[in-house]
Structure 1
Amino acid sequence: MTEVRDNKAGSRFELDIDGNIAFANYRATPQGVIITHTETPLPLRGRGIGSQLVEGALALIRADGRRVIAGCSFVADYLRDHPENRDIMA
């Protein structure tokens, strides 16, 4: 499985698949990490890449001891469908 990385300079989580980059923009605040937008390139859509990206981003946020705030509908839906992540929701 390809790993999600935190591109701190670009304020986004990234996932490279088949030469394309899916990403989740974020903004760090004292309350947590607000994921403001997710985007999966057209050739990668319909393969669960967006969910894999968010799952990896949440793992990085959890590992840093931070909390997540859903600032886009995709992340809000993901968190609703994956209640095991409630522990890091701000």
Structure 2
Amino acid sequence: MDIRNNEKNLQFEYEENGEIARLEYRFYKKNIAMMHTVVPEALQGKGIASALAEEAFAFAEESKKKVMVYCPFVAKYIKKHPELREQLDKEFHPNL
């Protein structure tokens, strides 16, 4: 799946047939905050949101940034991938 980091708009994107799925992020202090995931109805059910999250966590790791999660989808994704908990900012997510 060809996912790109649109650094201008601070979002990871996947485009198919003119539809764009995205995971929006922001930089906050020394962290990356995952804000919101949007997958158009025409693209749902293809694992695109998970692929966006995977790319976002890879980017955070490469950038040596801890992750703050505001997005409900990303929170669910972490529950399915507990190995990612080590990337979370423990001050922001003390119970994970």
Counterpart code for 1:42: E
Structure 1 residue aligned with 2:32: 33
RMSD over aligned CA atoms reads 1.4
Aligned length: 89
Structure 2 residue aligned with 1:6: 5
Q: Gapped runs of 5+ residues in structure 2? A: 90-96
Whole-Å Cα distance in 2 between the matches of residues 61 and 18 of structure 1?
A: 28
User: Which whole-Å deviations, capped at 9, do the CAs of 1:48-69 have from their partners, x for residues lacking one?
Assistant: 1111111111111111111111
TM superposition score normalised by structure 2 = 0.83
Q: Which runs of 4+ in 1 moved over 2 A?
A: 16-20
TM superposition score normalised by structure 1 = 0.87
The structure number with the bigger radius of gyration is 2
Larger mean Cα displacement after TM superposition, 49-58 or 9-18: 9-18
Q: Which has the higher helix share?
A: 1
Identical counterparts, % of pairs: 36
Secondary structure in 1 matching 2:36: strand
Whole-Å Cα distance in 1 between the matches of residues 30 and 80 of structure 2?
A: 23
Q: Gapped runs of 5+ residues in structure 1? A: none
Whole-Å Cα distance in 2 between the matches of residues 11 and 21 of structure 1?
A: 14
Structure 2 residue aligned with 1:70: 69
Alignment partner of 1:83 is 2:82: yes
Alignment partner of 1:47 is 2:42: no
